[in-house]
Amino acid sequence: MKITIIGTGYVGLVTGACLAELGNDVFCLDVDQKKIDLLNNGGIPIHEPGLEEVVARNRAAGRIQFSTDVAASVAHGEVQFIAVGTPPDEDGSADLQYVLAAARNIGKHMTGFKVIVDKSTVPVGTGDRVKAALQEELTKRGADAGFSVVSNPEFLKEGAAVEDFMRPDRIVIGHDSTAEGQQAAALMKKLYAPFNRNHERTFWMDVRSAEFTKYAANAMLATRISFMNELANLADRVGVDIEAVRHGIGSDPRIGHSFLYAGAGYGGSCFPKDVQALERTARQYEQDLLILRAVEAVNDKQKLVLGRKVVQRFGADLAGKHFAIWGLAFKPNTDDMREAPARMLVRQLLDAGATVAVYDPVAMAEAQRVLALDLNAEELARVRFAASAMDTLDGAEALVIVTEWKAFRAPDFDKIKASLKQAVIFDGRNLFEPDVMSQAGFEYHGIGRSILT
Ligand code: NAD
């Protein structure tokens, strides 16, 4: 099938590459000329395991092309995926300007029937707005081409995006019941047929329910994280090991083990903005989503927990003190630092007067870019971008771990102890066992692990 993907970011590039891998003829459009040039020169703008190989293979086979040519992109695909960003607006609602611009571009150029698939995460009712924006352009031109707007939210996880796309738990497709809607559904069924070979994974529904499903999923996952973080903070007070509790409750199949990890708070481009956007939608309908308000408030507080633990241990004035930070990306296997808890930690330690040395296995370039935006010149001068994890340690009072990269899970503790000024570890992801750390001679501060002995 001939497919166009509008927006070549995390979701668009992975969607395009994976659909090409299945044999489709894919046209990826972006407004960012630099990104398109990089892709056309064989580069990949994001770190995502396996993606480079899939893109290279399909470029070589002539199944995927990258361009900024809007007219050509509209002419190419019978199915047009919109996968542009939906960042939070000032009031927390999803900013739909990129989605609607993409819709208008299709309306300006289309000649025959098109299926417009909304893959971006968008509030309930956006399908109607996409339809209206596109129709307005058609009317302006006096053109009369048929189209249907479908919702097909994306559930991939950054860091495992290719794997998730290729082996989805479920595919959600919302379409309307008009003749065009049925035609669109038939095309979507054909496109996704390779994923449904072993068993049917597609859930068919109306457009609004599909749009809502994406927010409900992210809100549920964020809720589980904030719930455990809130309990972890209590566990710290009452001498309970939250990790033991996690095992104890996760074994109940009604609860399950996923997303029960206490830590330094959730970040990334999705949970924070999607929780906010759902709350905002509710407010527009005069409903207050009390649980989600609490989820967000708990998370905002949780991002400060590691820094607070450092200040509690070393005092409010950290001038002249140096700290090592491991992990900057908001989670492992990605270089994405959007809303990453590490940014908050760096800010807290610098505000208290400290200097820091930071390291992340893949997010160093992104960290330099992002921290240059977060910090002024004087603050930035107090950040050293280290060449390796071990290179952060010299002269540091303590090591603070923020991201649970595999490479941090079994470090050389003797070397760490020898390099640090004091053998103190703050572990924002509960990578280690408190008793093992204490036997190894470390003062260990996890999240929710201050067991009374
Ligand atoms: P991104 O910022 O990485 O990429 C968006 C791309 O769209 C950018 O390259 C931008 O230049 C391009 N763009 C903007 N306007 C355009 C236009 N009119 N025409 C062509 N290109 C245009 O965003 P992302 O992380 O891929 O997210 C895209 C959407 O998918 C968002 O709604 C997000 O919430 C959702 N989503 C993201 C993830 C994730 O893990 N990142 C997962 C599921 C859903």
Instruction: Please tell me the predicted confidence (pLDDT) of residue 92.
Output: 85
Nearest CA to ligand 1 atom 34: 121
Instruction: Quote the pTM value.
Output: 0.94
Q: Which helix (H) or strand (E) holds 202?
A: strand 202-205
Residue 119 is assigned to a structural domain of this protein: yes
Nearest CA to ligand 1 atom 15: 98
Same domain for 308 and 347? yes
- CA 208/CA 418 separation, integer angstroms: 58
Report the half-sphere exposure of 270 (CA within 13 A, side-chain side). 21
- CA 122/CA 137 separation, integer angstroms: 21
Q: Please tell me whether 406 is known to bind a ligand.
A: no
Final residue of a structural domain among 205, 236, 265: 205
- Rounded (10°) angle between helices 51-60 and 10-21: 50
List pLDDT tens digits, range 336-372. Answer: 999 999 999 999 999 999 999 999 999 999 999 999 9
Same domain for 124 and 229? no
Which ligand 1 atom is at minimum distance from the Cα of 12? Answer: 26
Same domain for 262 and 403? yes
Number of separate domains in the chain: 2
Residue 211 is assigned to a structural domain of this protein: no
Same domain for 330 and 267? yes
Same domain for 295 and 256? yes
ipTM of the shown complex? 0.99
Same domain for 24 and 137? yes
Which ligand 1 atom is at minimum distance from the Cα of 35? Answer: 9
pLDDT < 70 positions in the chain:
452-453
Residue 210 is assigned to a structural domain of this protein: no
Distance 11 CA to ligand 1 centre (A): 6
Same domain for 309 and 185? no
Nearest CA to ligand 1 atom 4: 9
Residue 368 is assigned to a structural domain of this protein: yes
Same domain for 264 and 350? yes
Residue 217 is assigned to a structural domain of this protein: no
Distance 96 CA to ligand 1 centre (A): 11
- Which residues does the annotation mark as catalytic? 270
Instruction: Please tell me the predicted confidence (pLDDT) of residue 77.
Output: 98
Distance 97 CA to ligand 1 centre (A): 12
Strands (E), 2-82: 2-6, 25-29, 64-67, 79-82
Nearest CA to ligand 1 atom 3: 9
Same domain for 184 and 269? no
Strands (E), 311-438: 322-326, 355-359, 383-385, 398-401, 424-427
Domain containing residue 117 = 2-205
Find tokens 């160093």 and name the residue. Answer: 364
Which ligand 1 atom is at minimum distance from the Cα of 120? Answer: 32
Distance 123 CA to ligand 1 centre (A): 15
Residues with CB under 6 A from ligand 1: 6-12, 29-32, 35, 83-86, 98, 101-102, 120-121, 154, 156, 158, 269-270
Same domain for 130 and 162? yes
CATH number (domain holding residue 187) = 3.40.50.720
Same domain for 80 and 42? yes
Distance 328 CA to ligand 1 centre (A): 21
Nearest CA to ligand 1 atom 25: 10
Same domain for 347 and 309? yes
**Single-letter code of the amino acid located at 90:** E
